[in-house]
Each structure stands twice: as structure tokens, then as C-alpha cells.
Amino acid sequence: MKWKFPANSAIAPNAYFMVWADDDSLEKIFHTNFNLSKDSGKIFLTHATGIILDSIAYGTQVSNVSYGRYPNGMATSVV
């Protein structure tokens, strides 16, 4: 509940959408107002009502490396 997608944002079926969790909301619109822990953590995608739509646990983060699910919707892998 820390950050909301901008109004009218959409992710097309079978598409990807990158959001920077870098506490740099003065940057372009898809930069969040929070950072992820560099050690590990869990992040949630929720509906405005608070219902959890998806979540992912992540391990130690490496600078300038993005992480995602591969194949889409499956286990976490470096992308």
C-alpha cells in the first residue's frame, strides 16, 4: 500500500512492466517512493481494497541487475 500505479496504467496480456523500487519518485512515473531491502524481502501487488493479487520473495540484491520471473509467472530467476 506504499505506492500506486498511475491512473490508467495497464499491463497487456503476456507483457512485462518494469517498476523501479528506488525511492526516486522525482524520476519518471514508474519509480516508487520506497526502496527494497538489499538483503532480501517480499513484495506484494494488491488491489486498492488490500486484496493480495500476487507476491514474490526475493534474495540478496545486486546493483544494476533486474530480477523477474522466467518463464512468466513461474519461479524467480535473474532476467
Please report which confidence band the pLDDT of residue 74 belongs to, taking 50, 70 and 90 as the band edges. low
Whether 6 maps to a domain, the answer reads no
Per the structure, the count of domains in the chain is 1
Note the pLDDT of residue 52.
93
Note the pLDDT of residue 73.
62
pLDDT tens-place string over residues 7-64: 888 888 877 778 888 888 677 778 888 888 889 889 888 888 989 988 888 889 888 8
Note the pLDDT of residue 76.
52
Note the pLDDT of residue 79.
47
Is the pTM here over 0.75, yes or no? no
User: In which domain, by residue range, is 17 found?
Assistant: 12-79
Whether 3 maps to a domain, the answer reads no
Whether 1 maps to a domain, the answer reads no
Q: 33 and 22 in contact (C-beta within 8 Å)?
A: no
